[in-house]
Amino acid sequence: MIVPAWKDWLQWARTRIVWLEKQKAKEAAAKGKSSDFIAGDNFSIVDIQVYGCLWFFGEAFPFPPQTILQDLQGQLPWMQAWYDRIQSRPAVVAAKAYRDESLAAYEDRKKKGEKAPNAAIP
């Protein structure tokens, strides 16, 4: 990312997350409860995209970490509950476990000076 631009993008993202929290509060006030997902009652690509961005830039991207939810802790109850629900989905748990195993294997190969195996070459 363009170095001077990331802070602007981070502020934009924070603003959008706060906006989403307000929309979910309005939805809860109107309907008696808000849906469990961003764009309705079903898990959708919107949830995947928002989760992917928050997770990647908050936990997986090494520099600089962009910890929106942590920075706004306590101010985003619906958003934090949503994030926790997505984090506990079986596919997310499995993907993170696979990533951790893959990174550990990479670090082990790096220490040994080995190249990664290539499944395309017998």
Single-letter amino acid code for the residue at 122: P
Residue 122 counted as domain residue: no
For 49, the domain range is 5-110
Q: Domain for residue 121, yes or no?
A: no
Count: domains in the chain: 1
Contact at 8 Å (CB) between 113 and 56?
no
37 close to 43: Cβ distance less than 8 angstroms: yes
Q: Is residue 91 part of a domain?
A: yes
pTM, to two decimals: 0.80
Please write the tens of the pLDDT for every residue from 9-44. Answer: 888 888 999 999 999 999 999 999 999 999 989 999
Quick check: 61 pLDDT over 80?
Answer: no
In a domain, 45, yes or no: yes
Give the CATH number for residue 102.
1.20.1050
Orientation angle between helical segments 90-112 and 77-87, nearest 10 degrees: 70
In a domain, 43, yes or no: yes
